Amino acid sequence: MSKINLPNKLTVLRMCLVPVVMLFILYPSLTGNNSVLYGIIPALLFIITAITDFIDGKIARKYNLITDFGKFMDPVADKFMVIGTLMSITFANASLRPYLVWVTIIVIFRELAITSIRLVVSGEGIVVAANWLGKCKTMTQSIAIVVFLIEHLLWDYYYLSYVGLVATAVLTLWSGFNYIKEYWKYIDPTK
């Protein structure tokens, strides 16, 4: 087996951190231990996972370290990071669960739709690269998750989290529709 390069190591690290973040989010709900650490630790770990997402792509492109493993695992790790964290937050927060469920469903459906489009058009030799709207969507999701994880530590309400949830839903839908509109011409119902 060949030696794994740094961007791929960062992707694997991100994949390994996702269940740890989820565990720290869920721990207070499962045990009743509401220590401030269980708000700070998952937020810090999520920030680290988000930074690895940013860094691994930069390093891979700058040093021409793009591999098939990275092309496959990087988007999988990204989806696990956001969806796993959102699912944990949804389970752990009863007061905002109705809103979180809808945002989580929107994120999951969008990711499934765009991944499916990528699979179909790749058969035509077309690469669906991330565009600026997709990157804004990812950044908004990450910021909203971090805000949600720390806001309740600062005060007893979730005003910024509501804004983050709305922004996440809007940008997730917008970027999804944008991809569908751009690549719909390659979805041939007669094939």
Tell me the pLDDT tens digit for each residue of 57-91. Answer: 899 999 999 888 888 899 899 999 999 999 999 99
pLDDT score of 190: 77
Question: pTM of this prediction?
Answer: 0.91
pLDDT score of 63: 94
Q: What tokens does 67 get?
A: 């591999």
Which one has a higher pLDDT value, 37 or 74?
A: 74
Alpha carbon distance 131, 137 (integer Å): 10
What's the mean pLDDT in 162-166? 95
pLDDT in tens, 38-55: 789 999 999 999 999 889
pLDDT score of 1: 44
Distance of CA 49 to the CA centre of its chain: 10
Instruction: Pick the closest to residue 79 from 105, 107, 46, 54 (CA basis).
Output: 107
Least confident of 38-42, 139-143, 174-178: 38-42
DSSP letter at 158? -
DSSP letter at 124? T
Q: Return the half-sphere exposure (C-beta side, CA atoms, 13 A cut-off) of residue 157.
A: 4
Alpha carbon distance 60, 55 (integer Å): 8
Alpha carbon distance 116, 141 (integer Å): 21
